[in-house]
Structures are given as C-alpha cells and as structure tokens.
C-alpha cells in the first residue's frame, strides 16, 4: 500500500527571495489552505517549519501542506492589497474570514427633475446623492418610510412615474405629493427635497427653524391648512430624530466604530456606522477559522477585508492596535485624511463602549444558541441511532399544479443554518406535477457532483415527504453509490406541526416524537426553512413566466406592439403598473385592446 509522500519544504525555502510578497500554502489536491503576506518571504515562510510555538490551528495547516506558491511584490503595502484580494477570492480554510458577501446599502436621492427616494446597494455613482452606508437593509427602508412621512418624496420607479394618469395610494395616505400628475410645482417639490437632504446631512436645527418660520408666516396670512401641515411636519421631524438616531455633537460627523471582543472562545466584531452625526445602527460579525487567533489578528483581518478597496469614513474608532502598513495603505486610499483613534475620549469613548457591549451581547446570544443547537443535535443523533451527524441537507419541491416547479436544498452545519450554501434547482426534465420525478432530478444533480468530488458531503439527508419520496431518494443514492443516511419527514394529520412521522429506511422503521422533543424542533426548523426557500423560488419563477407569456398570449398583441409597450413603460413591470388610459396612448394600441391587455395582466 503506497504512502502519501511527505512534503519537503527545503528546496522551496532555499530559493525564496528576501523580498516582500504573498505566499499561498496548498494541499495535495491543489486547494489553497492559507494566504499570507510578508516583508521578507524567505524568513516568513521558513518560520512555519522552524518554530515550535505555532498555534494548534497553524500546526494542523502545516501538516497538510503539499506545495507553496509565492508572488513577489514591490512593497509590503502592495503585498497587503494582493493578500486581501486573494483571501476574498479563494476563502482559504485557515485564514480568518469575515463572510459578508453583500455590499452595504445606501439611501439615494436621485438627480431627476423630480428626485426619487430609494434604496440602493452597490458602488455609488454620480450624479445622484448617496447617504450611508447603512449597516443593513432594514435601517435604510425604515429611514425611507420615515422620510416619506415628513417630506413626502416619491419612491416609485421612473417607468411608473412617467406614465401615471392619476395619483397612487401613497398620495391618498399623505406619503407623496404626487408630482407625477402635477399636484405639486417643481419649485415646491425641490424645496421638500432640499429639506430631506438637509436632514440627512445632519442640519436638523436649521431645518426646524425654517419650517417653524414658514408655519408662523402661513398662520399670519390665515393659511391655516398650510400652517397645520407644517406643524405636523415639525412634530414628525422631531419624532423621527428621537426614534431613528442617537445624535452626536462631535465635530467629526462621519465615523465607523469597530469594537473587537473575545469571550467564551468566540470573537465578535461590532461595526457601528455614524453618518452626519447620527448613529445609523450596528452589525455584529463573527469570523470563521479564528481558532488560535488573537484580538489583534482578528481586528487586522476585519479592517483589511472590510475597508481595502472600499469607501472610507474620515474617522475610524477602534479598541486596539492596527499595523502601520495597513493604516498607511488606508490613508493612501481615502479621498479625505483618515483619522484612526484607538484610545478615544469623551463621546467617542461612549460610542466604543456601546459597541463593545453590543459585541459581548452578540457573543452571549450566539453561545446560548449554540448550546441549545448542540443539545438538539445530540438528541437527533440519539433518536436516529446515528453518530457524528453535523451537516444536514434538506430537500423540498414546490409548484402550483405542476407549474414552474422548483426544488430547494438548504444546509444546516456548524450548529446553524448556512444560507450561503443554499441552492435552488429549476426542474426541467420531470413532467409537470411529478413530485417523484422532480425529487429524482434534484438529488441526481446535487449528489452526482458530490460523487465526482465537487462540494461537501452531508452526514444526513432530510426529505420533506413520505415513503414515496424516500423510495426515490434511496434509488438515486443506490445508482450513484452514495452511502448517506436518508430520513423522510412525513406531514402529520391535517399537516399540524408536532405530528410529523420520521421515516428511517436504514432501520426499517418509522418514529413519531413528542411535540416538544428537541430533535423534532431541529428537524422542523430545517424542514420549514427548506419549504420557505422552495416556495419563494417557485413564486418568483412562476411570476416571471406568467408575465413573460401573458403579453404573448393576448390576441392582437404581436411582436411590434409588444416591443412598443416594453419600450414605452421600461419593461414588463412598467406595463403591469400602467393604467388602461396609459396603455391606450401607445402607438397601435386601441382603447379596446388596452382594456384587453389590462385585464389579462391583472
């Protein structure tokens, strides 16, 4: 029996230059285990094979090294940028990683003649005005709703705005002034936009003073209705300021606060975003692959992965050391001078202490959740008479009378759901309404790749269905030679939660657990998530298919008329949002045909 050859680093180390650069440790399959930077490649890479005080995590990594690749750079700062790019692209197994795939959201005031208030995620682009970033989408949407109440700016899409013939519901509930149909002049709308921008820029006092002056003037002119509207606007503005933001009186209005905390073996970074002197909210992030790390390493990893190549606030407050190389690179990157404060006083100290408390609280919640999930997982192993079940994948099929069938696969691992590993499958080969055929297709597609070496192997597969679906799963696994336990989750009487029956084909029996059994709670959590993920995918696919086919199916709407409709209203959504009067204004569309189109789409 041949043995795996032992990796000998000496030939590589002997030829490494004493120059700055980036190194990559690879395993026997060519996968990158670790990416690092160095001022001196020869000295840094050699240290992995000479030191005896390496952390257990790094020792384990070193034992798996089968090859080393290096890239020489012109400076340590250049190596830092390349290292960060490679970590993000390759997500190496032994690097400290902060997985936050989505960019942070902004609130946008567009540059139209009648500007639109909207949510935006991505790189800010001229000539629109961007406010943020916000820590999450909820904070942006809540801000938009509150700004609508006070300033009543439009939020509708351009295609809808350009083709309305009467005000929408938002006008009726006093959330918009209906500039689409001329219910407000361009100058008055511009004044409302200027007021909203002033508020977002932190000029609250000036705005309140102007509104109060206008209210008094309106009252003196006996324009009591206008005065009452302005009074309500001032009150709403005051309420919004109290509810939405923790105000700051600091001279530095834009800042990020980064607090790194360790407790119970977990690291947490709490990121607080303060813009225009207002606390917009915070976000707690937990790194992966942080075993054996320390606070400084976690802080350095977060700051590099979060800020290199991204927009920077003029002030970052943090609770520890930052390397001079990273600081200097961020200084070069920023449009304005970056101030990095590690020992804040006064108000900034309050910000940092608040962030540290939030990080501690997030760790406590995660530990409590982890303990609960660990208990549930242990109980599940016991009930199923299995050992070592940690990674669970669950499948569900969703369709409407066979239309737009979608299968979902959700993943539970590391005692939590793993949304980044979820997958949806549009079912193509199975006949409409054939749940067994759909299950056969999705399992073959999913695990055919795993058998070929792509993707992770689960410890358990849950099938949301009865004996028929389980039988199909067993056939597929037998054909693939895939030996993983399968458990069916059959719905109980009247589909009531707590009455599910577990089908265990490997034990040739079924089990019904008590409604409060921890193992059943875990199965229900995973199964319900699979169902939610499948049905949202199905609805999106069905809606897209119905809208796309609906125009084609309307008598009298040929290719040219479809093209004119789509161009006039900016796409299918605009056509659906258009009224009969709007549709009748399109060349070649009579009033009778407009009515037919409207009825077909609604």
- 356 neighbors 317 (Cβ within 8 angstroms): no
In this structure, is the dihedral angle defined by the CA atoms of residues 310, 314, 315 and 321, taken in order, positive or negative? positive
What is the domain-level CATH number for residue 36? 3.40.1440.10
For residue 386, tell me if it sits in a domain.
no
pLDDT of residue 450: 92
Question: Helix and strand tally (H, E) in the chain?
Answer: 20, 19
**What's the total number of domains in the chain?**
5
Task: Clarify whether residues 481 and 561 are in a common domain.
Answer: no
Task: Clarify whether residues 332 and 405 are in a common domain.
Answer: no
Task: In whole angstroms, give the CA distance from residue 553 to residue 438.
Answer: 27
For residue 446, tell me if it sits in a domain.
yes
Distances (CA, A) of 347 to 5, 352, 471: 59, 9, 64
Q: Point out the domain boundary residue: 212, 244, 276.
A: 244
Q: Point out the domain boundary residue: 182, 217, 244.
A: 244
* Residue among 464, 414, 411, 459 at smallest CA distance from 439: 464
10 alpha-carbon distance from chain centroid: 44
* Residue among 533, 489, 486, 382 at smallest CA distance from 374: 382
Task: Clarify whether residues 136 and 73 are in a common domain.
Answer: no
| Collapsed DSSP state (helix, strand, coil) of residue 349 | helix
Task: Clarify whether residues 337 and 412 are in a common domain.
Answer: no
Task: In whole angstroms, give the CA distance from residue 518 to residue 349.
Answer: 43
Task: Clarify whether residues 146 and 35 are in a common domain.
Answer: no
* Residue among 280, 290, 349, 252 at smallest CA distance from 271: 280
**Are β-strands 266-275 and 129-131 bridged in parallel, bridged antiparallel, or unpaired?**
unpaired
Tokens (6 digits) for 256: 């990020």
Task: Clarify whether residues 111 and 53 are in a common domain.
Answer: no
Task: Clarify whether residues 472 and 416 are in a common domain.
Answer: yes
Q: Point out the domain boundary residue: 211, 244, 277.
A: 244
Q: What is the DSSP letter of 259?
A: E
Task: Clarify whether residues 498 and 457 are in a common domain.
Answer: yes
Q: Which residues contact 535 (CB under 8 A, 6 or more apart)?
A: 398
Task: In whole angstroms, give the CA distance from residue 398 to residue 534.
Answer: 6
For residue 78, tell me if it sits in a domain.
yes
For residue 377, tell me if it sits in a domain.
no
CB atoms within 10 A of CB 335: 8
Task: Clarify whether residues 123 and 231 are in a common domain.
Answer: yes
pLDDT of residue 247: 42
For residue 324, tell me if it sits in a domain.
yes
For residue 176, tell me if it sits in a domain.
yes
- 35 neighbors 86 (Cβ within 8 angstroms): yes
**Phi, psi (rounded to 5 degrees) for 395:** -120, 145
pLDDT of residue 248: 44
Task: Clarify whether residues 531 and 592 are in a common domain.
Answer: no
Q: Phi/psi zone of residue 430: left (φ > 0), alpha (ψ -120 to 50 degrees), beta?
A: beta
For residue 529, tell me if it sits in a domain.
yes
Q: Phi/psi zone of residue 85: left (φ > 0), alpha (ψ -120 to 50 degrees), beta?
A: alpha
What 13-20 contacts at long range (C-beta under 8 Å, 24+ apart), as own/partner pairs, is 13/42, 13/45, 13/46, 13/49, 16/41, 16/42, 16/45, 16/46, 16/70, 17/41, 17/42, 17/72, 18/42, 18/43, 19/72, 19/73, 20/72, 20/73, 20/74, 20/75, 20/76, 20/78, 20/79
For residue 383, tell me if it sits in a domain.
no
Task: Clarify whether residues 270 and 329 are in a common domain.
Answer: yes
Q: Which residues contact 23 (CB under 8 A, 6 or more apart)?
A: 35, 36, 37, 38, 41, 44, 45, 68, 69, 70, 71
pLDDT along the chain (602 residues), means of 10: 63 90 91 93 92 82 91 88 88 84 80 90 83 80 82 86 84 89 91 86 70 79 76 67 45 81 90 81 86 88 90 90 91 83 88 90 84 91 94 92 87 90 90 90 94 91 94 96 95 70 94 91 93 88 65 77 77 75 85 82 72
CB atoms within 10 A of CB 394: 28
Task: In whole angstroms, give the CA distance from residue 173 to residue 576.
Answer: 22
| Collapsed DSSP state (helix, strand, coil) of residue 577 | helix
Task: Clarify whether residues 527 and 418 are in a common domain.
Answer: yes
Owning domain of residue 561 = 554-601
Distances (CA, A) of 70 to 13, 24, 50, 92, 473: 11, 6, 19, 15, 46
pLDDT of residue 251: 41
With a threshold of 0.75, does the pTM exceed it?
A: no
What is the domain-level CATH number for residue 293? 3.30.420.340
């Amino acid at each position: 029996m041949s043995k795996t050859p032992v990796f000998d680093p000496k030939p590589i180390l002997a030829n490494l230059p004493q120059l700055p650069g980036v190194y990559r440790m690879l395993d026997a399959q060519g996968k990158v285990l670790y990416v690092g930077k160095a001022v001196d490649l020869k000295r840094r890479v050699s240290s992995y094979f000479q030191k005896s005080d390496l952390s257990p995590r790094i020792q384990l990594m070193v034992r798996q090294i089968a090859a080393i690749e290096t890239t020489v750079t012109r400076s340590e700062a250049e190596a830092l940028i390349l290292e960060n790019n490679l970590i993000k692209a390759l997500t190496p197994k032994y690097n400290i990683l902060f997985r936050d795939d989505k960019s942070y959201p902004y609130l946008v005031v567009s540059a139209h003649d009648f500007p639109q208030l909207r949510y935006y995620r991505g790189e800010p682009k001229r000539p629109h005005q961007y406010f943020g970033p916000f820590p999450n989408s909820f904070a942006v949407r809540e801000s938009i709703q509150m700004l609508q109440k006070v300033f009543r700016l439009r939020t509708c899409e351009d295609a809808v705005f350009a083709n309305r013939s009467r005000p929408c519901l938002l006008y009726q509930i006093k959330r918009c002034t209906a500039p689409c149909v001329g219910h407000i002049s361009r100058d008055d709308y511009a004044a409302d936009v200027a007021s909203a921008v002033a508020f977002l820029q932190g000029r609250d006092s000036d705005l309140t003073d102007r509104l109060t002056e206008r209210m008094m003037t309106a009252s003196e002119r006996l324009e009591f209705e206008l005065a009452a509207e302005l009074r309500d606007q001032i009150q709403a503005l005051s309420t919004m300021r109290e509810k939405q933001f923790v105000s700051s009186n600091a001279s530095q209005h834009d800042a990020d606060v980064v607090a790194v905390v360790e407790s119970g073996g977990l690291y947490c970074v709490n990121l607080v975003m303060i813009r225009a002197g207002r606390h917009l909210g915070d976000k707690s992030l937990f790194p992966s692959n942080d075993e054996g790390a320390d606070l400084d390493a976690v802080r350095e990893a977060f700051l590099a992965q979060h800020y290199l190549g991204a927009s920077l606030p003029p002030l970052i407050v943090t609770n520890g050391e930052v390397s001079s190389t990273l600081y200097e690179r961020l200084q070069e990157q920023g449009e304005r001078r970056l101030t990095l404060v590690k020992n804040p006083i006064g108000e900034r100290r309050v910000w940092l202490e608040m962030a540290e408390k939030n990080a501690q609280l997030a760790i406590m919640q995660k530990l409590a959740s982890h303990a609960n999930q660990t208990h549930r997982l242990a109980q599940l192993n016991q009930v199923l008479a299995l050992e070592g079940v940690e990674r669970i994948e669950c499948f569900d099929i969703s369709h409407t009378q066979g239309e737009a069938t979608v299968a979902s696969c959700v993943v539970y691992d590391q005692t939590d759901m793993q949304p980044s590993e979820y997958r949806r499958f549009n079912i193509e080969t199975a006949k409409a309404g054939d749940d067994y055929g759909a299950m056969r297709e999705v399992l073959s597609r999913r695990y055919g790749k795993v058998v070929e070496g792509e993707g992770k192997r689960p410890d358990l597969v849950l099938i949301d269905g009865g004996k028929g679906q389980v039988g199909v799963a067993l056939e597929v696994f037998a054909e693939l030679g895939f030996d993983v336990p399968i458990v069916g989750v059959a719905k109980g009487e009247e589909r009531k939660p707590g009455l599910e029956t577990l089908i265990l084909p490997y034990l040739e029996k079924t089990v019904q657990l008590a409604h409060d059994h921890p193992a059943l709670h875990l199965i229900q959590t995973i199964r319900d998530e699979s169902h939610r993920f499948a049905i949202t995918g199905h609805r999106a696919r069905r809606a897209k298919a119905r809208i796309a086919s609906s125009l084609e199916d309307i008598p009298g709407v040929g290719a040219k008329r479809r093209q004119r409709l789509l161009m006039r209203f900016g796409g299918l959504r605009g056509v659906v949002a258009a009224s009969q009067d709007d549709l009748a204004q399109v060349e070649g569309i009579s009033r009778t045909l407009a009515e037919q189109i409207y009825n077909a789409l609604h």
